[in-house]
Each structure stands twice: as C-alpha cells, then as structure tokens.
Amino acid sequence: MTKTPITSAVLLAAGRGKRLRPHTNSTPKPLLPVGGVPTLDLYFTSLAAAGVKDTVVIVNHLAEQIEQYADEVPSRFGITCSTVRQPILDGTASALEAVLIDSRYDKQLKPLISRPFLLIATDYLIPDSFIPDLLTFYLSNPEDIAVSIKTVPEEELASRSSIRFAEDGSITEVVEKPLAGEAPSSYSANLAYVLPAEILQLLADVSCSARGEREVQSAINCFLATQGTARGIVQSAPSEWTPALLKG
C-alpha cells in the first residue's frame, strides 16, 4: 500500500519545565531562547522543511504565551497552527486526548488527525533535518508507526524508555522507565512518532502508570499488541536547553 505524505502534527508543549526553574517560572520551556529565537522556532523550521502544513500545539503552563506565538506561525512559517489547552497535566495520552474533547474538534481539528500524523514533544533542540528524516523513513517502510529512537547509556534507561524489538528488527513494545537491569535494549524512544488515526480510539483505555501519568506509549503498545506494526529510525539524541544558551 502506498502511503501518503504526513502533513499534520500535534506538538506537546504543556509541561511546566520543572528541571529548568527558575527560567521556566516566567517563560514556558518551548519558548526559551536559542540563539535569540524561541525553541519552538527549531520545530517549525523542521516541520516546514518536512512539508507539514497543519499543526496543533497542546498547551497548559503559561499557555497565553504559546498561544500568542502560535498566532504568528502561519505568517512566519506558512503552517496553520491551532492551540488546545490540556486541562490537567497528567500525561501524554491526556495531552493528545485534549484534542478530541476540544469544542473545535469536529469542524476544525478532526481532519488533521483522521489520517496518520506526527506526534512530537518540544523539549529538545532539534536540527532542521530531524522531522524530515523521520517522515521520509515512515514513507519508505511498510509499518504503521515510525518511531524516532536513540542509543543511551544503560544507566539512563531507567529514567527514559527502552525499545523491545522483534527478530526482524520491528518494534513490539516501548517500555517506559524499565527497572534497573531489565531494559530490553539499549535503544530509547524520543517522543517523536508517526501515528495512525486508529491510536486515538485507544486513548480512553489508558490508565495511570505507577508515576501517576497516562502515557501515550500505553496506547501505542496496545496497538502493536493487537493490530499494528512499528519500526524505528536511529537519530542522534537531540541536545537539551541550558541557561548558557541565553548568551547566544
């Protein structure tokens, strides 16, 4: 089956950025400056390079600032940009679910996620090629889901995720924060996925993890266990924002 290009994306930008306080007390993490421009510029530059035309940004912490940024995205990047407020910060599954319960869903938002779409966090400093490479990989492989993956030191896996592979190299599970010594591989998932629309039907059944979060990875794992396939592309681990970038 021939796949159609990915032209829509959901960006996760609701978090409080606790690890970067006090910088995120007054500026949401996705708007922290890099070389004089907001971090989100890196994402929209990469999205534009990938041919993405429509976006939804999930917001909560200091939402008004990101909503104001979103108003300028069409003129700056040629990409439509809606914002949706996540009512409670209780995980990425709830963040994506916020799109489904938004009052504009049927008329405005549904068309964007009724076909395969990109779901990506906005926590890192990505290069321009990051999203184009992921979307090209998705189009060139038959699997339903494309996952951006990276290699990480074993001691970091317990605070991240680990990928379980089948013998043919496809992905069978994303194991969130595995116990020490129990990670199925040294590969971890960046929170960047190309997902089928069917994943939305599984969100309601996602329960809270031991950390009290409803994680989209649970819906992905359910999809992989019952009806779909996934494969990962190894991408360089993107760097994180540091206060030193304020001087750039």
pLDDT given at position 82: 95
Mutual orientation of helices 39-50 and 63-77 as an angle, nearest 10°? 40
> Is residue 118 helix, strand or coil?
strand
Question: Residues 6 or more apart from 146 whose CB is under 8 A from it?
Answer: 134, 135, 137, 138, 193, 194, 230, 231, 232, 233
248 has a pLDDT exceeding 70: no
Cα–Cα distance measured from residue 77 to residue 69, given in angstroms and rounded to the nearest whole number: 12
Cα–Cα distance measured from residue 115 to residue 96, given in angstroms and rounded to the nearest whole number: 15
66 has a pLDDT exceeding 80: yes
**DSSP-H helix ranges across the chain:** 23-26, 39-50, 63-77, 92-101, 110-113, 130-140, 216-226
Residues 63 and 30: beta-carbon distance below 8 Å: no
For the domain 8-237, what is the CATH code?
Answer: 3.90.550.10
- Give the amino acid at 122: T
Question: Residues 6 or more apart from 33 whose CB is under 8 A from it?
Answer: 39, 245, 246, 248
Residues 99 and 105: beta-carbon distance below 8 Å: yes
Q: Strand pairing of 145-151 and 187-195?
A: antiparallel
Tokens of 102: 């938004």
Q: What is the pLDDT of residues 5-60, one digit of tens each?
A: 999 999 999 987 677 677 778 889 999 988 889 999 999 999 999 999 999 999 99
Cα–Cα distance measured from residue 125 to residue 224, given in angstroms and rounded to the nearest whole number: 29
Q: What is the pLDDT of residues 172-205, one digit of tens each?
A: 999 887 777 778 888 988 999 999 999 999 998 8
- C-alpha 195, offset from chain centre: 10
Top-ranked range on mean pLDDT: pick from 12-16, 144-148, 161-165: 144-148
170 phi-psi bin (left φ>0, alpha ψ -120 to 50, beta other): beta
Residue 176 pairs in a beta bridge with 161
Tokens of 235: 């991408």
